[in-house]
Structure 1
Amino acid sequence: MFSNLLAFHSLFRWLVIILLLITIALFTYKYFTKETFSIKNYRLLQITCWILNVQLVIGILLFSKSQLVYLLWDNFQETVKMRQPRFFGLEHPSMMLLGIILFNYFTFKVRNKINTTKAVTYFLKRFIIILIIILSSIPWSFSPLTNRPNFRDFYLTNL
């Protein structure tokens, strides 16, 4: 079950990344064209927020079952010096949690600015920071520090 959940988490990240990029492209476009923030834009933020929260729940389930996390917390003084357990037991979850909490908070705050141009500027500035936090915390296949495959296989052994 862990490997299937891990594969789903890895696959689901692409939906998250696509939605984040669509959202930033929309807000950047609206910023340069000086358009107002509409209810449709807010709905896109809510959908993106929901998808991020689903990914967070999957991540929490993985965190609770991961052997790397157990290794880190069983002998913290020694394993905190090891890159993989530290990244997956401490850095990745804390940075992703921070990014998702910030996204939720600013999505909630921007709802009061619907039909204004201030909402676009307000959210875009914060969203760029959130996007950097999230993208820098993903274990990419090209990362020399914590490389993982971009796509994982599903292991359907319990059918």
Structure 2
Amino acid sequence: MQILLFIHSLLRWLVLISIIYSLFRVYMGLKNQTVFSKTDNLVRHWTATIAHIQLIVGINLYIKSPTVKYFLSNFKQAIQHLEFTFFGLIHILLMSIAIIVLTIGSALAKRRKNDEVKYKTMLVWFSLALFIIFIAIPWPFSPLAHRPLFRPF
């Protein structure tokens, strides 16, 4: 369980960095009116892939988590506590939605014919996914649940 938490924590940063880097490339592509390059396409693809790997690790954690097990087996009591509700319901729901949004955006951008439309498609969908992810991460300053920025191994 500890190794999964470490990997999930590490992948969080890779997901965030890859989405932010994707959005930076989108911004530069739109600003400079450049061709949607092979590199842009690889960044799009790998951003979605990293997010999918994170989702798989997260689902494994969800299934094995004692917090989630408690939440599911004691729903009436646990729903009254924000941290149990966050990890038992809010986190998994929002992160799943974010990955779906990111995946749709990636697939739509891939299929667009016009370079500017590819960039704009990624801009909208990846930005929305990033916003949802920021809400759903248990930051140390979050009112929903508190976790460290880095989990030790």
TM-score (norm 2): 0.93
Contact 2:68 2:84 in 1 (8 A): yes
In the alignment, which residue of structure 2 is the partner of 1:131?
Answer: 130
% identical aligned pairs: 33
In the TM superposition, residue 126 of structure 1 has moved relative to its aligned partner by 2.0
Contact 1:19 1:48 in 2 (8 A): yes
| 2:28 alignment partner AA | Y
In the alignment, which residue of structure 1 is the partner of 2:118?
Answer: 119
Note the residue ranges of structure 2 that are not aligned, 5 or more in a row.
none
In the alignment, which residue of structure 2 is the partner of 1:15?
Answer: 14
* Structure 1 outlier segments of 4+, above 6 Å: none
Choose 55-64 or 10-19, whichever is displaced more: 10-19
Contact 1:36 1:115 in 2 (8 A): no
| 1:90 alignment partner AA | L
Contact 2:139 2:145 in 1 (8 A): yes
In the TM superposition, residue 122 of structure 1 has moved relative to its aligned partner by 2.0
Note the residue ranges of structure 1 that are not aligned, 5 or more in a row.
155-159
- How many Å separate the matches in 1 of 2:91 and 2:138? 8
- How many Å separate the matches in 2 of 1:125 and 1:62? 30
In the alignment, which residue of structure 1 is the partner of 2:47?
Answer: 48
- How many Å separate the matches in 2 of 1:80 and 1:110? 39
- Please report the RMSD computed on the Cα atoms of aligned residues, expressed in angstroms: 1.4
Indicate the SS of the match to 2:106.
helix
1:108-129: CA deviation from partner (whole Å, max 9, x where unpaired): 1211225521111122122211
In the alignment, which residue of structure 2 is the partner of 1:157?
Answer: none
TM-score (norm 1): 0.90
Contact 2:109 2:117 in 1 (8 A): no
Higher relative contact order (CA 8 A, sep 6+): 1
In the alignment, which residue of structure 2 is the partner of 1:106?
Answer: 105
Pairs within 5 Å for 1:38-117: 38-114=37-113, 116-117=115-116
In the TM superposition, residue 15 of structure 1 has moved relative to its aligned partner by 1.2
Contact 2:10 2:150 in 1 (8 A): yes
Contact 1:27 1:120 in 2 (8 A): yes
- How many Å separate the matches in 2 of 1:53 and 1:17? 13
In the TM superposition, residue 147 of structure 1 has moved relative to its aligned partner by 1.1
- How many Å separate the matches in 2 of 1:141 and 1:52? 22
Would the alpha carbon gap of residues 18 and 26 (structure 1) be closer, same or farther in structure 2, given more than 3 Å must change?
Answer: same
In the alignment, which residue of structure 2 is the partner of 1:144?
Answer: 143
In the alignment, which residue of structure 2 is the partner of 1:35?
Answer: 34
Contact 1:95 1:137 in 2 (8 A): yes
